[in-house]
Amino acid sequence: MSRVHEALRRAEKAGFLNTPAAPAQQPPVASVAAPPPSLDRRAAELLAAVKTIPFNPSQDAHLIDSSRPHEAPMEEFRSLRTRLNHLQGLQPIHNVVVTSPSPAEGKSFAAVNLAMAESHLDGNLTVLADFDFRRPIVHNIFQVDRSPGITDYLLGKAPLHDVVRRVDGTNLYIMPAGEAVINPLELLNLATVRDMLDLLQKAFNWVIMDSPPLLFAADANLLSTLSHGTILVVRIGTTTIDSVTRAMSSLCENNVLGIIVNGARRGELYSKYTYYHSYYYSKPDERSDEQKARKEEEDDDL
């Protein structure tokens, strides 16, 4: 058993979630809902003023594809969405930090696709905020300008409605990181950050925040104290038990909602979904020879 598996077993015993994720595809489809009548006035004004951008992700974005709901990536993020929405029904959770112990473990991939999965639900307004001021990526994924973004708003250079963009035809909104700053941690310590997050959670059902890795910057630790929950992303074969232990110890344990296990082998994850859905969603005469052979084997076992 790998060291990552041992770490995840510890996390599971502590009561954390353990949800795998995998590479994915493309575009969102959702029913766009109008803001509810009871929405806070400032929140309603914000939603009314934001600009709409076309859905034009980069070709290597690896986004989940809602038009192919039975593929493994979509299934995994829908499962994660279900768990988070269940938690939200038990306690007031509206903003979540997605981070990882170290770089290249898939935190941005997880944050973007989780936000997309949430936005697929009717009326579930979701904003994806890029708080990784050091190495931002959300603007590249959706092929929009990095600025104006969050740092521009915090520096007083842009109003909030210019920072938020709605993805056309969806319930998904994005907030790019903004212009590069010398010391991101100083910006995150501003009272303006708390006020902004308070307004965002009144305007959106989910605020998904992509942040820097825990062991390489203090940004994620600070954001965790400002959020309702933190999700840790680890990568099989890359993340060590030592880095998981140090990352967990740097966070408030009551704030950790769960762990996403990234980097599962394609054969392990895809085969079970491919077989299940291709078999049960095909007519008998449309089954492949392999499926027919499996069916005959199952009949022989009965």
**What is the model's pLDDT at position 254?**
67
More confident residue, 217 or 52: 52
Spatial separation of the C-alpha atoms in residues 201 and 127, rounded to whole Å = 9
Cis-peptide into 148, omega within 30 deg? yes
Partner residues linked to 99 by β-bridges: 232
**% of the chain residues with pLDDT over 90:** 53
**What is the model's pLDDT at position 10?**
57
pLDDT category at 1 given cuts 50, 70, 90 is: very low
pLDDT digits (tens, 9 = 90+) for 39-59: 789 999 999 999 999 999 998
Please choose, from the candidates 129, 124, 117, the residue with its C-alpha nearest in 3D space to the C-alpha of residue 204.
124
pLDDT digits (tens, 9 = 90+) for 144-154: 999 999 999 99
Q: Is the pLDDT confidence value at 116 over 90?
A: yes
Q: Write down the CATH number for the domain with range 3-264.
A: 3.40.50.300
> What does the pLDDT average to over 203-230?
93
pLDDT category at 265 given cuts 50, 70, 90 is: low
Spatial separation of the C-alpha atoms in residues 146 and 275, rounded to whole Å = 42
By mean pLDDT, which of 28-32, 55-59, 69-73 is the weakest?
28-32
Amino acid identity at 12? E
Burial 208-217 (b: 16+ CB within 10 A, else e): bbbbbbbbeb
Token representation of residue 53:
């951008």
Spatial separation of the C-alpha atoms in residues 160 and 158, rounded to whole Å = 6
Q: Which residue is associated with the tokens 């790019």?
A: 176
Q: How many CA atoms lie within 13 A of 227 on its CB side?
A: 30
Q: Is the pLDDT confidence value at 242 over 50?
A: yes
pLDDT digits (tens, 9 = 90+) for 126-143: 999 999 999 999 999 999
Mapped onto helix, strand or coil, the DSSP state of residue 284 is helix
**What is the model's pLDDT at position 268?**
52
> What does the pLDDT average to over 173-181?
97
Token representation of residue 181:
């700053």
Please choose, from the candidates 151, 152, 144, the residue with its C-alpha nearest in 3D space to the C-alpha of residue 174.
144
